[in-house]
Structure formats: C-alpha cells, structure tokens
C-alpha cells in the first residue's frame, strides 16, 4: 500500500500507549486539523521521540498517510517548545487542560481550521509566558466559539433585536448564545447577568486579531462574568460538563444574586 509523506506544525493534545511498543498521539495541526497518528516503537526508541510526545508540546512533525487515511504513521517529530512553565505550574497546567478539553470536544479528525490552530498556539504561548491564565482562557473561549461557528451574538438583544444600548441591562442566554435585554428577560431560559463593560470587552476580543489581543485588559468582576458565561455556554453547547473546569477560582459565579436560572 503506497503511503504519502506530509509534514506540518502540530500541538500534542493527547497520547496513550498502544500495545507493547507504540504510542498513539492526537495532534491539532496547522495543515491537517485534528490528526491522530501512531508512533511505531516510540516506547522503545529513546532517541526518536524522547520528550516530544508530551501534552501541549509544539512540534514539527512528519507523517505518512495511507490512501484511505485509515492509518497515519508518525515518522519524525522536532520539538519547537515543550511549554515548560505550563508543565511546572499547577495553575497554568489546569488552565491549559481546560483549553485542551474544549479542543478535543469540538474538533473531528481531518477537519482543517487554521484559525483554531493559531488561536490554540497563541493561548498556550501566553499561558506559558505567565500572562494571567484566566484572562487567556476568557479571550481564548471568546474566539474559540467564533472559530467553530458558534460566535456569541453580543451586538443586539436576541429577542427584540434592538441593538446594544448604553444604560440598559443585559443578560446572556447560555442556551442560545445571545444577549437578552431587561425588557425581554422573561424569554430566556438560562440567563446570566452581563455588565456593559464586560460586553464591550468581549466584543473587542471578537473583533481584534490575535496579534492585538494583548492590548485588551479584563479583570475583577468582568473577568469573572466573562468566564461564567463562557463556561456555561460551552456546557449548553456540547451538552456535557467540562471536567477540567474544577478549580474553585474558575468555577465561582460572579455574584450569587446576579445569576438567575429559570
Ligand atoms: Zn430585548
């Protein structure tokens, strides 16, 4: 069976042992999207893949595909960075793991999306550089939903369609991914209050390219509000818990009285 050789940049999202000597690795790759490949003999060969097939490693990989793509073989991997700080800090590792879980839930083998790859690399790089990991997570998720086709609509009330107005109060409906103004708030089924300041920051995150995200600031209540809606939106969208989202500091709602669930 003729195989064809390819190469691309890739981030390791998952790896597990297969049989006595092989490792199966799942990558998010720049050119091939989500990609699973078998590294033959990787458990025995100390030289070829040592320290490379680890979670979050950013690699240049060479691989071979069979004609029907039933099996992909990893032939070589060159390490760009292992994001050492992420590995060595519980807080950073925890946040990176949440991002990894969202990527594994939302991607399918072979789906190609350059934006998702660049966004993920941006997030892991910034977490590793010790930017506030919670800010990186909030910015990542805001753009992530956009990249997979579920961009939260923060520009108008999703019920009356009146555009965002200063002075009005808004909530976010995590079942629809849209804003609901105070006049329409009876129509939402799962509403979380969102301040105007938070809405404006999230709109800016949606509109700015990755290269300019570092100019945007979010903190305090706004960050908590943003993480709260982004987390719950994901749970509704994928109809499952995000199991990595464990740490209490990430899980707390912004303010118990500001959240109403019908
Ligand atoms: Zn409305």
Whichever domain contains 253, its CATH number is 1.20.1440
Q: Are residues 136 and 256 in the same domain?
A: yes
Residue 98 lies in a domain: no
Report the pLDDT value the prediction gives residue 244, as an integer from 0 to 100.
95
Residue 13 lies in a domain: yes
Whichever domain contains 53, its CATH number is 2.40.50.140
Q: Are residues 136 and 80 in the same domain?
A: no
Q: Are residues 145 and 246 in the same domain?
A: yes
Report CA torsion sign: 29, 32, 37, 43: negative
Report the pLDDT value the prediction gives residue 47, as an integer from 0 to 100.
74
Residue 66 lies in a domain: yes
Residue 114 lies in a domain: no
CA of 182 to the centre of ligand 1 (A): 7
pTM over 0.75: yes
Residue 218 lies in a domain: yes
CA of 156 to the centre of ligand 1 (A): 8
CA of 163 to the centre of ligand 1 (A): 9
CA of 158 to the centre of ligand 1 (A): 7
Q: Which of the listed residues 28, 58, 84 is the one where a domain comes to its end? A: 84
CA of 194 to the centre of ligand 1 (A): 14
d(CA 4, CA 63) in angstroms, rounded, equals: 8
Average pLDDT per block of 10 residues along the chain, 262 residues long:
88 93 94 93 79 93 85 93 95 96 93 90 97 96 96 95 93 94 81 95 97 94 96 96 76 41 31
Q: Tell me the three state secondary structure of residue 194.
A: strand
Q: Are residues 73 and 137 in the same domain?
A: no
Q: Are residues 17 and 80 in the same domain?
A: yes
Report the pLDDT value the prediction gives residue 261, as an integer from 0 to 100.
33
Q: Are residues 39 and 139 in the same domain?
A: no
Domain encompassing residue 154: 132-261
Please tell me the chain's helix, strand, coil percentages from 3-state DSSP, rounded to the nearest 5: 40, 25, 35
d(CA 58, CA 130) in angstroms, rounded, equals: 17
Residue 157 lies in a domain: yes
Total of domains in the chain: 2
Residue 103 lies in a domain: no
Q: Are residues 137 and 256 in the same domain?
A: yes
Report the pLDDT value the prediction gives residue 43, as an integer from 0 to 100.
84
Q: Are residues 170 and 236 in the same domain?
A: yes
CA of 257 to the centre of ligand 1 (A): 21
Q: Which of 225, 242, 125, 126 is nearest to 179 (CA)?
A: 225
CA of 229 to the centre of ligand 1 (A): 18
Report the pLDDT value the prediction gives residue 250, as an integer from 0 to 100.
53
For the chain, report the end-to-end CA distance as a whole number of angstroms.
Answer: 58
Residue 10 lies in a domain: yes
């Amino acid at each position: 069976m003729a195989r064809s050789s390819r190469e691309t940049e890739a981030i390791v999202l998952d790896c597990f042992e297969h049989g006595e000597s092989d490792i199966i690795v799942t990558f998010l790759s720049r050119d091939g999207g989500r990609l699973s490949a078998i590294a033959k003999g990787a458990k025995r060969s100390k030289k070829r893949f040592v320290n490379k097939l680890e979670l979050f490693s950013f690699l240049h990989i060479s691989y071979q595909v069979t004609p029907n793509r039933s099996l992909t073989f990893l032939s070589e991997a060159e390490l760009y960075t292992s994001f050492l700080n992420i590995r060595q800090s519980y807080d950073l590792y925890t946040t990176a793991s949440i991002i990894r879980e969202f990527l594994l839930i939302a991607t399918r083998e072979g789906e190609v999306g350059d934006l998702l790859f660049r966004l993920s690399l941006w997030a892991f790089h910034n977490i590793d550089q010790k930017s506030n990991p919670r800010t990186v997570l909030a910015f990542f998720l805001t753009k992530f939903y956009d990249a997979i086709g579920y961009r939260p609509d923060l520009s108008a009330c999703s019920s009356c369609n009146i555009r965002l107005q200063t002075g009005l109060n808004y909530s976010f409906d995590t079942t629809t991914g849209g804003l609901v103004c105070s006049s329409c708030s009876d129509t939402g089924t799962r509403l979380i209050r969102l301040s105007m300041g938070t809405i404006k920051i999230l709109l800016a995150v949606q509109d700015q390219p990755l290269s300019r995200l570092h100019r945007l600031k979010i903190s305090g209540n706004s960050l908590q509000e943003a993480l709260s809606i982004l987390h719950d939106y994901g749970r509704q969208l994928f109809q499952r818990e995000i199991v990595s989202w464990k740490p209490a500091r990430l899980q707390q709602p912004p303010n118990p009285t500001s959240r109403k669930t019908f």
